Structure 1
Amino acid sequence: MSQYIRILRAEHLKLKRTFTRKLILTAPLLTLFLCFMLMGGRFFQSGSLNWWYTMILPGALTLMCSGVLRKDGGKLRYRPILSLPIPASLSWLGKIGEVVILFFGASMFLWVALLAVGLLLPGTISAMDSLLGTLAIFATFLWQIPFCLFLADRVGTFVTLIISMIGNFGAGVIFLPTSDLWWIPYGIPSRLMCAIIQVLPNGLPVPAGDPLLDQSVILPGLLINIGWFVLLSFITAKAFQGKESK
């Protein structure tokens, strides 16, 4: 564990004064700015959370993953870390952990900002619901961190960004009303957010009495995507371990 903490600290130091670390603030602020300009009013808080997970977060998370990889990848092709006397898989888990920290920081900054704005503007959701929504988005997006790291390493940032944007928005719209949604981890955040903030991925309110308002799906949805996070972290770490033999 102490070795992993040292790896996390090293990953954190690599990002000092980089755009990747600044995304903790710039991505939530962009969300708030766009929502204020296009919506505002009593729907500002719920609208911001909706914009966050459907439009801004997929891109921001991809850029975080790409930024973490860029320090050791590129022309160096990970030689600085592959030459260290530590398992390559542990270095990969360190990169996953660093993106998790960045993502959590951005999530909490967004929630605090929504609380502050809520003191000035009337809202449609409570502070606890906005916190639950923020944490639900965080937990259900975690699996995308090892997945995006793997894709960015193999196919590049641009392709990963396109896959992320289409997957997150498309799955939420196409599979939301169907039982197939539970097999598509991209779509689970949309299902949970319908129950928590009562807003569809397209920004419209969920109609009263709609089954999408059922909150019993929250815990299963969280467990499914956290399970994907653990599984993909293990699989991608093993795949990165294979670079030592090349």
Structure 2
Amino acid sequence: MLKYLQAENLKCKRTFIKKLIFIAPIVPLLVGFMTGRYFETNSFNQWYTLILPGYISIMAVMTNEKDQKKLHYRAVFGLPISLKKVWISKVLTNGIYMTFSCMVFIVGIFLGSYLRITPVPAFSALAGAALIAVTSLWQIPLCMFLAKKLGMLGTVLINVGVGTVLNVMAVSTSMWWISPYSWTTRIMCPILGILPNGELAIIGDPLRNPGVIPIGIILSIILFVLLMIVTANWFEKEEVN
């Protein structure tokens, strides 16, 4: 499996995907910095509600285009290799890149906190960044599937557009756990004290109930594994177009 991962990483050498690892987290940091004293809360809210889903969507499309654009996967399907492992390595490589982006983001948060008055404790910020990565992993196999089927426009519209609508509709209700797009936003309420609308939650707000944290984490991991298995089996049966 390590060789498959190394091969996928090599394909991304000197590509825009590698640059996105740094560009994507810088965007919400700049937006947050311009908003004034609530640098951390605004940066976090922009990151997990909008920028990160868009980043995952674009990364999935670019990953697909490396094999799809010129040879329509002929260079992959014609080799005596495991197509399941090829797909899983693509998913895991994107997951690693996304995790690095979250690390870049939290470094920016800590650096920016010296310049702005911010209400988020360091431990909470670190935990928030880590859990954003964990609870967003499931989007990667989904977006890679969408990228191969629908291309850039369809992937972004569904993962960012439809995802944002589903997040808004469910996140503040008791049925938040039904919508995967609500999981990250909901568990950030008790961790960071940020409400779904980006405002600070007051002490005693029911949305700050920490009981949602393990639920969101478990559901995210289960969905990630299921989507990776289902899409890997689908990819194994794909043929060259």
TM-score normalised by structure 1 residue count: 0.94
Counterpart for residue 22 of structure 1: 19
Q: Which of 15, 18, 33 is the matching residue for 1:36?
A: 33
Asked if structure 1 preserves the Cα contact closer than 8 Å seen for 2:61 and 2:144, the reply is yes
Counterpart for residue 203 of structure 1: 198
Counterpart for residue 84 of structure 1: 79
- Segments ≥4 residues shifted beyond 4 Å: none
- Asked if 1:67 is matched to 2:75, the reply is no
Asked if structure 2 preserves the Cα contact closer than 8 Å seen for 1:88 and 1:244, the reply is no
Task: Give a deviation string over 1:99-137, Cα, whole Å, max 9, x none.
Answer: 011101100000011111122322211111011111111
Amino acid paired to 1:106: S
- Asked if 1:118 is matched to 2:102, the reply is no
Task: Give a deviation string over 1:124-181, Cα, whole Å, max 9, x none.
Answer: 1111101111111111110000000000100111111011112432222211122221
Task: Give a deviation string over 1:10-40, Cα, whole Å, max 9, x none.
Answer: 1111111111111110011111111212x12
TM-score normalised by structure 2 residue count: 0.95
Bigger shift: residues 110-119 or 98-107: 110-119
Asked if structure 2 preserves the Cα contact closer than 8 Å seen for 1:140 and 1:226, the reply is yes
Asked if structure 1 preserves the Cα contact closer than 8 Å seen for 2:187 and 2:213, the reply is yes
Counterpart for residue 168 of structure 2: 173
The 5 Å alignment of 1:1-246 reads 4-37=1-34, 39-41=35-37, 43-244=38-239
Q: 1:245 to 1:19 in 2, by over 3 A?
A: closer
Report the Cα distance in structure 2 between the residues aligned to 1:56 and 1:26, rounded to whole angstroms.
Answer: 11
Shift of 1:244: 4.5
Report the Cα distance in structure 2 between the residues aligned to 1:181 and 1:192, rounded to whole angstroms.
Answer: 10
Report the Cα distance in structure 2 between the residues aligned to 1:226 and 1:209, rounded to whole angstroms.
Answer: 29
Q: CA RMSD in A?
A: 1.4
Asked if structure 2 preserves the Cα contact closer than 8 Å seen for 1:27 and 1:60, the reply is yes
Report the Cα distance in structure 2 between the residues aligned to 1:50 and 1:182, rounded to whole angstroms.
Answer: 19
Q: 1:245 to 1:12 in 2, by over 3 A?
A: closer
Paired-residue identity, %? 38
